[in-house]
Every structure is written in C-alpha cells, then in structure tokens.
Amino acid sequence: MGIEVIVEGLTKSFGKQTVWQDVTLTLPPGEVSVMLGPSGTGKTVFLKSVIGLLKPERGRVLVNGVDMVNGPERDIYQTRKLFGLMFQDGALFGSMNLFDNIAFPLREHTRKKESEIRRVVMERMDMVGLVGSEAKLPGEISGGMRKRAGLARALVLDPQIILCDEPDSGLDPVRTSYISQLLIDLNAQIDATMLIVTHNLDIAATVPDNMGMLFRRELVAFGPRELLLTSDVPVVRQFLSGRREGPIGMAEEKDEATLAMEQLADDSTVPIAPPTVVPQLEPSPGLPPRQAVQRRRARVLAMWDQLPAAARTAVQAGLAPVQGEPA
C-alpha cells in the first residue's frame, strides 16, 4: 500500500518572495490527490519540497517518519527512492531512445541484470501503452507519448508515492482524458499514494479522491473531492467554473484595486450554475478495484460532522454500495 505523506506548516520563500506559507495537509495512503492552482502559485515548488529537492524555511514533510525538510540527508536520500516523480516536460534525455530513458533509474540505482531490466521496462511500457516504441527518440514522438514515457520512467523503481507535475500540459482534451484514465488505472494496479498538480478542470473533476488549491501564497482548502467541487469559497468556485469574475485575474492574481472595483459592482448578481459533481473515473475493465476506495470511504464518513451539507449530498450520491458488502 502507498505511504502517507504529512505536510505540516510548510513555508517556502525565494529571497523576499514568499511562494506559499503555512501549508498543512495529509496525503492519505494509496489515495489520489490533486493540487490545483493558477500558474505561478508554487505547485512545482511544492512537489520539489515534498521530495526534499527544495528546502522550505519552516515546517516539515513526514514520510515514514523521515522529515524531508530537516532530516539527515542520508535518510532523505533513502526515502526519496520511495517516490516516482513525473516532470512537467517529461525530462527525457534527447539522445537516448525510450527504452534506455525508462531503464535509466534501474541502471543508476540498482544492480539488476540486463534481462531483469528488460522485463521491468517492458512491463512499465505496457502499462502506459508504449510497447513498440522502445527504439524511438523523444524528439520523434508526440507530447502525449513523451508524458507517458516520463510516467513509465517514474514507475520503474516501484514507487509507493507518485508525484505528477501537470500531466496534461501541452495535451489536447482527448489525450488528457487518456492520461486521466491511465492515472486511475495505475492507482488500481499499484495502490500508490498519488499527488497530481494541474490546472486542468477535467482532471480535477474526474480523477482525484482529494483536492486542494493554492492561491495567494496560501493553501485555500484541502479535503475530499466533494468538498472542493461543491465549495462556495469564491476563488475555488471561480477556478472550477473557469469564469472571469472572481479573485483570479489575467495576471495570475488580480490586484487588490481591481478586486475592490468588482466587489463594488456586486459580483453576486452574476449567475453561477450550481456545482455539479460528476462521478469519479473507475479503473478500466479487467483491472482490480482501487483499494483506496474502501479506505477513503471510512475516512470520509469519519469526518462527516465537519463536512458542509452540499459536500455531504455529493458524497452520498457517490457512495455506491461496495462490492461484497450489503447495500
């Protein structure tokens, strides 16, 4: 099963610029979480901080009892091997074919024989639908294939935590749906804890068990998908409905003056469609059910008292009877 990731009071600055402050959340083991946020809100910085590549000034990130911020470098290095990181741009070596790119972590970090490497690489290439493209160079394939190759490479060391940086960027809507399904299928097959950062609304609506949002240097919210999808927090509503009206502006975040003008103009008269919560994606036929589903169900029911009415209604609508249990 995937490993829990506990983030406590995390604050990261570059010089005088605070990227975000006091971020606290827990990625539940084996569940899929999505972190939303406009461009430049520090999503990539967050992923790099979780894995210990960037060092926030305050707070901690606990993985298996190791603090990825202030723990001993040796422990951080060991713990990092539990992670698979899929970079935004794929980060493939341009002069290496896909097979060698995907085999790279195995050759670098293990002493596996070449026959064993071939077995693992082909298995992962099969999982992401790339069999037959082993000899292709990154420059010869589509953006979608490069993403999948980056994902396959993130999987070869059997990670228990998978971090994906904008798996949809540069992809058309159809390719994005394929990636969404692939991420859910992956979760069903390996039960890893997953964190996806994105600003894609389709991924947000269909993939995660949990969702969070970074905005104006804060974590606006983090919780079960239904909580965010039915949220009446203006910035969350605006983001998830893709509207112009609201706190988020053209230059990433509207300045205070524009915002004040808009509030004078009475933003509340702009009609907003009631939030609809579409069902979460299921694993493809033939795959096992996601083990996270039952764990999450127990977890969400345990926090029932803290959920607003709209979120409860959405949770109830999604609580189909679990296989093998009485309805």
Ligand X SMILES: Nc1ncnc2c1ncn2[C@@H]1O[C@H](COP(=O)(O)OP(=O)(O)O)[C@@H](O)[C@H]1O
Site residues (vs Mg ion, CB under 5 A): 43-44
From CA 175, how far away is CA 179, in angstroms rounded?
6
Cβ proximity to ligand X, 19 vs 311, nearer residue: 19
What's the one-letter identity of residue 207? V
- DSSP β-ladder status, 193-197 and 161-165: parallel
CB of 199 to ligand X, least distance (A): 8
DSSP 42: S
Q: Is 66 left (phi over 0), alpha (psi -120 to 50) or beta?
A: beta
Letters for 26-55 (x = contact with ligand X by CB under 6 A, - = none) are -----------x-xxxxxxx----------
> Which of 188/220 has CB closer to ligand X?
220
Phi, psi of 164 (to 5 degrees): -120, 120
- For the CB of residue 281, give the shortest distance to ligand X in the complex, in Å: 24
Q: Is 153 helix (H, G, I), strand (E, B) or coil?
A: helix
What is the pairing mode between strands 161-165 and 5-14?
Answer: unpaired
Nearest approach in angstroms of CB 88 to Mg ion is: 6
Tell which positions 6-25 bind ligand X, by CB under 6 A. 14, 19
Task: Give me the least distance between CB of 46 and ligand X, in Å please.
Answer: 7
User: What residue type is 300 in one-letter code?
Assistant: V
Q: Does 169 bind ligand X (CB under 6 A)?
A: no
- At 105, give phi and psi (nearest 5°): -60, -35
Residues 171-210 within binding reach of ligand X (CB under 6 A): none
H/E stretch holding 75: helix 73-80
Nearer to ligand X, 101 or 198 (CB): 198
Binding partner selected for residue 41 from Mg ion, ligand X, none, CB under the kind-specific 5 to 8 Å limit: ligand X
Q: Name the CA dihedral angle for 187, 188, 191, 197, rounded to a multiple of 10 degrees.
A: 10
CB of 190 to Mg ion, least distance (A): 25
Minimum Å distance from CB 179 to ligand X? 18
Is 45 or 69 the residue whose CB approaches Mg ion more closely?
A: 45
Q: Please give the size of the binding site for ligand X, defined by CB under 6 A.
A: 10
Q: In this chain, which residue has its C-beta nearest to Mg ion?
A: 44
For Mg ion, which is the closer residue by CB, 34 or 130?
34
Distance CA 99, CA 153 (A): 9
User: Contact positions toward ligand X, by CB under 6 A?
Assistant: 14, 19, 37, 39-45
